[in-house]
């Protein structure tokens, strides 16, 4: 008999004892009973809070108990959601899918609870009670009222029902989109027994592919669509037909033209997602979903965003065209008359080798993962005065996972995080930070923030440590920037603590900010050392790395602009009365800004999980928008010194610790002393002749 059947449920027990999840004990059968119990408890808590607040609502009678119940529900489900992402199996998928509709329905129920909304509104309108709240508490109340309206609390009964139905269906569609993408990614592989096909691949890549094969009890080498494998082939394989084969499989994942015969096709899902988002936005009185999304963003209008992106495109297109011409010239030397999409990475790497006399593989030995992770922690310690230590005897979901604490100088714990760094079967692709719990004050003290940090780096091969590419090092720093935002907060109210409640087009500021330390000699010296000899990264190699920072920068920026414009127009211009579809919208954007058209079979949107299964719908522009902030923030260190203590403390106190207690722009101005300027981004991208002093 299962634990769930006998009443023992580790998901509920961890909440009662305020312990970290016991990932060794949590099983799929615990998920649905825990969610059922937590939803029932939350309903009771909300009803009780409303009753107690009938005369005169207060923070203690209304907001705090509602927040506590919601926090408990989120913490109970978080391990389920996480395990579904990192240890996917039929059982975990079934458990997740059983819980999600219930959680979505409960969210709609609370968002449209008229009695609850009216109680919060009474608190807001009671000038004496509202003024007794501190500024952060007032922010929570204001955000709650905004979110009620965005949930359809003011709609008539029929419209409320329809809005809730849409949210339920959107939740299902987004989950299916992500699952189709994972299944399509893992369904394809290419078994290679003739090593000559792998000509050009460095030894590290061949060893990875050999390990892939050995893991499947196969001889030879196995190419998969996981990032380390796919990128290695597209970057290094001399065999052009092999590059084309792998590119075709990758760029058609989860589509009608994919290698699985459309088995995991996301086409219909995308159309339905867009239609439902548009309908929901119009129910709430917005012209389109892009307009609705701006209620929680810094930007003022879709027109402002489009202008920003088109300005970047105009500044970048000439540079990108020149880069493409240089790549095409190299390809022509090999007899390729017309360069194709599967040639870009390969000849881009050739161009870098020709121009800067080094390759990514030259750097790998200097980036062993354990040293890089330790070096990241040392950078953070010098910037913010905190230190990070590994914690033993904490249950984890996989042997690759390590648990750490962030501590102040007095050894008090600021936050806890789990790091899961390597790619493996059953793990969703990409890299992300997700919170298990947020900082909040409760009757027994302070609930510490806890984060999950997940990457998909090249795993260790044999007895050697994992050797990272510089791009992987940058990704690690990026995701840890999100983690710091979540864990270093000093805000005591979970809805606006850390990353929670921050305008979505500002959430990438701390993450992109951290990437800068991957390019500086002083910070690299803290961890970049040869894994066998201990030799520091040679000056000659560092100089080549620094010189190549803007290699293909125009191409990369234009690519991000293309994705951002596509996402914006997809959600702004959707019209159910026209025949304009997803691929038509993308084709129009590419015709306007791209310097090279991909092949007709390319189905990039079908794997664009950021906007169809993540939080970036009508918000992918956030990466470039926030990069203006992050580049300008780093320029403050360029004006002083890389590890200037006063500047680091100011960024900590005015940005990382502040959460959403004030607008993100106000946080930035408090740190920088002025509003952001695009100059640093252009300079860092090589699009300006200006150089830092």
Reported as a single tens digit per residue, the pLDDT across 41-61 is 999 999 999 999 998 999 999
What digits encode the pLDDT tens for the residues 292-312?
A: 999 999 999 999 999 999 999
What average pLDDT does range 334-362 have in this prediction? 96
Give the per-residue pLDDT at 261: 81
Q: What is the structure's pLDDT at 7?
A: 64
pLDDT at 306: 98
pLDDT band at 92 (very low <50, low <70, confident <90, very high): very high
In a 3-state reduction of DSSP, which class is residue 454?
Answer: strand
DSSP state of 445: E
Neighbours of 289 (CB within 10 A): 22
The closest of 596, 591, 592, 543 to 322, measured between CA atoms, is: 596
* pLDDT tens-digit map of 437-487: 999 998 889 999 999 999 999 999 999 999 999 999 999 999 999 999 999
Contacts of residue 588, Cβ cutoff 8 Å, sequence gap at least 6: 569
DSSP label at 14?
Answer: H
If DSSP codes are grouped into helix, strand and coil, which group holds residue 192?
Answer: strand
In DSSP terms, 452 is beta-bridged to 418, 434
Taking residue 189's Cβ as centre, other Cβ atoms within 10 Å add up to 18
What values do phi and psi take at 168, rounded to 5? -65, -45
Residue 144 pLDDT > 80: yes
Q: How many CB atoms lie within 10 A of CB 549?
A: 13
Report the pLDDT value the prediction gives residue 81, as an integer from 0 to 100: 98
R_g of the chain computed on alpha carbons: 25
Q: Is there a common fold for 267-358+553-620 and 364-535?
A: yes
pLDDT at position 652: 98
The DSSP line for 411-440 is --EEEEEEEEEE--TTS-SS-EEEEEE--E
Q: How far is CA 235 from CA 94, 135, 225, 349, 373, in A?
A: 37, 52, 14, 6, 25
| Residue 466 three-state SS | coil
Minimal CA–CA distance to 353: which of 207, 536, 547? 547
Among candidate residues 571, 577, 609, the one with its CA nearest the CA of residue 280: 571
Of 479, 503, 508, 515, which is the active-site residue?
479
Beta pairing class for 413-422 and 440-442: unpaired
Does residue 397 carry a pLDDT above 50? yes
Is residue 198's pLDDT more than 50? yes
Task: Please give the backbone phi and psi of residue 446, each rounded to the nearest 5 degrees, phi first.
Answer: -115, 130
**Residue 16: count of CB within 10 angstroms of its CB:** 8
pLDDT for residue 2: 40
**Contact partners, residue 319, CB within 8 Å, separation at least 6:** 553, 554, 686, 687
Alpha carbons 328 and 312: distance in angstroms, whole number: 24
Determine the pLDDT at residue 199: 98
Please give the class, per CATH, of domain 3-154.
mainly alpha
- The span from the CA of 564 to the CA of 214, in Å, is 40
- Model confidence band, residue 526 (pLDDT cutoffs 50, 70, 90): very high
Q: Specify whether the CB–CB gap between 45 and 70 falls below 8 A.
A: no
pLDDT digits (tens, 9 = 90+) for 647-672: 999 999 999 999 999 999 999 999 99
pTM: 0.96
The whole-angstrom separation of Cα 325 and Cα 320 is: 9
HEC per residue, 375-417 = HHHHHHHHHHCCEEEEECCCCCCCCCCEEEEEECCCCCEEEEE
User: What pLDDT shows up at residue 18?
Assistant: 87
CATH top-level class of 364-535 = mainly alpha
User: Token pair of 89, please?
Assistant: 């199996």
Per the annotation, the verdict on 479 as an active-site residue is: yes
Asked if 691 and 683 touch (Cβ cutoff 8 Å), the reply is yes
pLDDT at residue number 376: 98
Sorted by where each begins, the domain ranges of the chain are: 3-154, 189-251, 267-358+553-620, 364-535
**What pLDDT was estimated at residue 687?**
86
Q: Inform me whether the pLDDT recorded for 689 exceeds 70.
A: no
- What is the mean pLDDT of the segment spanning 527-549? 97
pLDDT at 258: 87
The domain 267-358+553-620 is placed in CATH, from the list 1.10.3470.10, 3.40.50.300, 3.20.20.120, 1.10.1370.10, at 1.10.1370.10
Q: What is the pLDDT of residue 580?
A: 84
pLDDT of residue 685: 92
Give me 207's structure tokens: 């060893």
Mean pLDDT of 242-260: 95
pLDDT score at 379: 98
3-state DSSP call for residue 239? coil
Give the pLDDT band (50/70/90) at residue 5. Answer: very low
Average pLDDT of 275-282? Answer: 98
């Amino acid at each position: 008999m299962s634990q769930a059947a006998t009443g023992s449920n580790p998901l509920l027990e961890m909440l009662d004892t305020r312990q970290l999840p016991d990932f060794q004990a949590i099983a799929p059968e615990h998920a649905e009973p825990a969610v059922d119990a937590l939803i029932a408890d939350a309903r009771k808590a909300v009803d009780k809070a409303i009753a107690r607040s009938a005369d005169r609502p207060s923070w203690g009678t209304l907001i705090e108990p509602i927040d506590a119940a919601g926090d408990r529900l989120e913490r109970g489900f978080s391990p389920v959601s996480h395990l579904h992402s990192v240890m996917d199996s039929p059982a975990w998928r079934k458990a997740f899918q059983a819980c999600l509709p219930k959680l979505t329905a409960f969210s709609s129920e609370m968002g449209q609870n008229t009695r609850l909304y009216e109680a919060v509104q009474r608190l807001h309108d009671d000038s004496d009670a509202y003024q007794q709240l501190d500024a952060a508490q007032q922010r929570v109340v204001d955000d709650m009222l905004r979110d009620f309206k965005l949930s359809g609390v003011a709609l008539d009964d029929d419209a409320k029902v329809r809005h809730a139905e849409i949210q339920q269906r959107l939740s299902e569609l987004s989950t299916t989109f992500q699952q189709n993408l994972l299944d399509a990614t893992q369904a394809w592989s290419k078994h290679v027994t003739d090593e000559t096909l792998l000509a050009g691949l460095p030894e590290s890549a061949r060893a990875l592919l050999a390990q892939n094969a050995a893991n499947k009890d196969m001889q030879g080498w196995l190419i998969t669509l996981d990032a380390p494998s796919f990128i290695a082939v597209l970057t290094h394989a001399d065999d052009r037909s092999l590059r084309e084969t792998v590119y075709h499989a990758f760029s058609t994942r989860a589509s009608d033209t994919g290698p699985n015969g459309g088995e995991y096709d996301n086409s219909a899902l995308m159309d339905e997602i867009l239609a439902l988002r548009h309908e929901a936005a119009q129910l709430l009185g917005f012209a389109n979903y892009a307009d609705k999304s701006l209620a929680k963003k810094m930007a003022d209008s879709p027109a402002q965003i489009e202008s920003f992106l088109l300005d970047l495109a105009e500044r970048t297109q000439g540079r990108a065209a020149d880069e493409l011409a240089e790549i095409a010239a190299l390809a022509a030397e090999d007899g390729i008359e017309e360069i194709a999409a599967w040639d870009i990475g390969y000849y881009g790497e050739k161009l870098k080798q020709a121009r800067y006399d080094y390759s990514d593989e030259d750097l790998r030995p200097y980036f062993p993962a354990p040293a890089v992770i330790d070096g990241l922690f040392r950078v953070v310690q010098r910037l913010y005065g905190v230190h990070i230590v590994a914690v033993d005897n904490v249950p984890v979901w996989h042997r690759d996972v390590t648990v750490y604490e962030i501590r102040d100088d007095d050894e008090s714990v600021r936050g806890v995080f789990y790091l899961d760094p390597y790619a493996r079967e059953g793990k969703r692709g990409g890299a992300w930070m997700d919170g298990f719990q947020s900082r909040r004050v409760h009757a027994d003290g302070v609930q510490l923030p806890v984060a999950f940090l997940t990457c998909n780096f090249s795993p260790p091969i044999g007895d050697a440590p994992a050797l990272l590419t510089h791009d992987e090092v940058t990704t690690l720093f990026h995701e840890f920037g999100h983690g710091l935002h979540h864990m270093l907060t000093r805000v005591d109210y979970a809805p606006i603590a850390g990353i929670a409640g921050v305008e979505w087009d500002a959430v990438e500021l701390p993450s992109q900010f951290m990437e800068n330390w991957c390019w500086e000699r002083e910070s690299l010296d803290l961890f970049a050392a040869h894994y066998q000899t201990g030799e520091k990264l040679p000056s000659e190699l560092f100089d080549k790395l620094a010189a190549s920072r803007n290699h293909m920068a125009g191409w990369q920026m234009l690519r991000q602009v293309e994705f951002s414009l596509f996402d914006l127009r997809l959600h702004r211009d959707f019209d159910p009365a026209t025949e304009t579809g997803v691929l038509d919208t993308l084709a129009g954007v590419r015709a306007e800004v791209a310097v090279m058209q991909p092949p007709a079979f390319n189905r990039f949107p079908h794997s664009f999980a950021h906007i169809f299964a993540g939080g970036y719908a009508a918000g992918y522009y956030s990466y470039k928008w926030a990069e203006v902030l992050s580049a300008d923030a780093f320029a403050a260190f360029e004006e002083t010194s890389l590890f200037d203590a006063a500047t680091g403390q100011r960024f900590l106190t005015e940005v990382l610790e502040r959460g959403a207690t004030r607008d993100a722009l106000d946080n930035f101005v408090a740190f920088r002393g002025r509003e952001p300027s695009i100059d640093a981004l252009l300079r860092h991208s090589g699009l300006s002749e200006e150089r830092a002093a």
